[in-house]
Amino acid sequence: MVTDPRVVRGMQAQLASWRSRVASGASRVGWKIGFNSPATQKQLGLDGTVVGHLTQATVLAPGASHSLAGSHLVCAEPEVAIHLGRDVPAGADGEAARAAIAALGAAIELVDIDRPLDDLEVILAANVFHRAVALGPPRSERAGGALAGVTARALHHLRVARAADLGEARGPRAGRSRTARRCRDRAHGVGGAKETRMSHPSTYVREPRRPGLLLF
């Protein structure tokens, strides 16, 4: 059970906002897992990850444009979307959780680092920097969570700049942590483009390191 008062208050505020959106007609999509990096968890005084919510209101279709007007520092983060075929009860072990995975898919989440990492309660209440997400098609052949043989590629000017086998990417999230630090350090006073175009999320990813997770 979570006892950190910052997490409790922040999640209470976030869930109140989520319930209001759903009541107003936003379709439920799933959840995002945030702050997977051990270094970030240590900085925030956390002993695990946190969650944010996803609704259809922020899901981008492949090829869609997304305006960055009003943003501070937007980062595109590669994710693995976990599609569940059945509920997983609280306290279930890893084997039971893996058995509930009906498919995996690629995704890219846009996060807007609009505040420093010094107020966990506010970050959670604001849905953990979430701005938008683009989802690739679910791949049922990856039921059970198998990532062996899945390769993530980062393209720069349409050339592969880096590649990694996700089945082997089980170590510390070094690349993601460096990206997070750059985003955090530049979070204030940095402008950006007014619009970004989302390519198909299974084709273009930025950091082919151990990915984050989205739950559906």
Residue 158 sits in a domain whose CATH number is 3.90.850.10
Q: What is the pTM of this model?
A: 0.75
Residue 113 has pLDDT above 70, yes or no: yes
What is the pLDDT at residue 15? 97
Residue 110 has pLDDT above 80, yes or no: yes
Nearest to 106 by CA among 75, 67, 77: 77
Lowest mean pLDDT among 18-32, 99-113, 118-132, 198-212: 198-212
Q: Is 190 helix (H, G, I), strand (E, B) or coil?
A: coil
Domain that holds residue 98: 5-215
Taking each continuous run of H as one helix and of E as one strand, the counts in the chain are 5, 11
Q: Is 11 helix (H, G, I), strand (E, B) or coil?
A: helix
Residue 85: count of CB within 10 angstroms of its CB: 11
Q: How far is CA 154 from the centre of its chain?
A: 17
Please tell me which residue, 118 or 112, carries the higher pLDDT value.
112
Q: Answer for the pair 55, 127: CB distance below 8 angstroms, yes or no.
A: no
What is the pLDDT at residue 117? 87
Total domains in the chain come to 1
CA dist 51 and 24 (Å) reads 22
Q: Provide mean pLDDT across the span 96-107.
A: 92
* Average per-residue pLDDT for the chain: 80
What is the pLDDT at residue 213? 58
Indicate the pLDDT class of residue 167, thresholds 50, 70 and 90: confident
Lowest mean pLDDT among 8-22, 65-79, 103-117, 163-177: 163-177
Q: Provide mean pLDDT across the span 66-70.
A: 91
- String of b and e for 110-124 (b: at least 16 CB within 10 Å)? bbbbbeebeebbebb
Q: Provide mean pLDDT across the span 44-64.
A: 92
Residue with tokens 């900085």: 43
Whole-angstrom CA distances from 175 to 3, 37, 78, 207, 209 are 30, 10, 12, 7, 6
